[in-house]
Copies of this chain bind each other. A is one copy, B any other.
Amino acid sequence: MESTVKERSIEIESTGLCTNLGWLLSQANHAMTTEMTARLEGIGLYPRNFCVIQAASQDDRTQTEIAQAIGLDKTTMVTSVDELEAAGLVERVPSVTDRRARIIRVTEQGAAKAAEAKRIIGELQEEILDSLPADQRTALMDGLQTLVGDRLAEPVECGRAVRRRD
């Protein structure tokens, strides 16, 4: 069960997985999400809810706007907002321009929690990026941002839809 970094690298290489972008993203995502979950456990916040509260922090945004920005299903979004509201971190405020819509307002307590979470996640992220050679650090972030903002912005149509996780 104990495996060194070198063993792990050799193992990946010999399977041809290291040239597989999809697998690399899946691995990195899973390990990263797990670590974020573990670190945020202490302040009682799921990574996904951190995204929600973060997206709600800037301007006035409706539930649907936030869901679409993050890439969440609207019913999944309801669950997130329910949790955040129950914890007193956000409030659903009726929009004045559209009485169907609810603005997600971050409470004072929510803002404090978000700041704390941002610190924790920021630290983790720095730690992870610091494990890379300097030139790979920014290039990785830049590359991912480009992909997610462009070529991989929206999931394609797919017969048997792939469910989202985290």
Contact = CB atoms under 8 A, between A and B. Distances in A.
B155 A17 contact: no
A132 interface: yes
Interface residues of A, number: 83
Interface string A16-49: 1111111111111111111111100100000100
Contacts of A129: 21
Contacts of A20: 51, 54, 121, 125
A165 interface: yes
In the complex, the count of this chain's copies comes to 2
B147 A12 contact: no
A135 interface: yes
Interface stretch (A3-11, A74-82, A89-97): A3-11
Interface of A: 3, 5, 8-9, 11-12, 14-38, 41, 47, 51, 54-55, 57-59, 66, 68-71, 121, 125, 127-129, 131-133, 135-137, 139-166
Closest 5 CB pairs of A and B: A139-B139, A165-B165, A140-B143, A31-B152, A131-B151
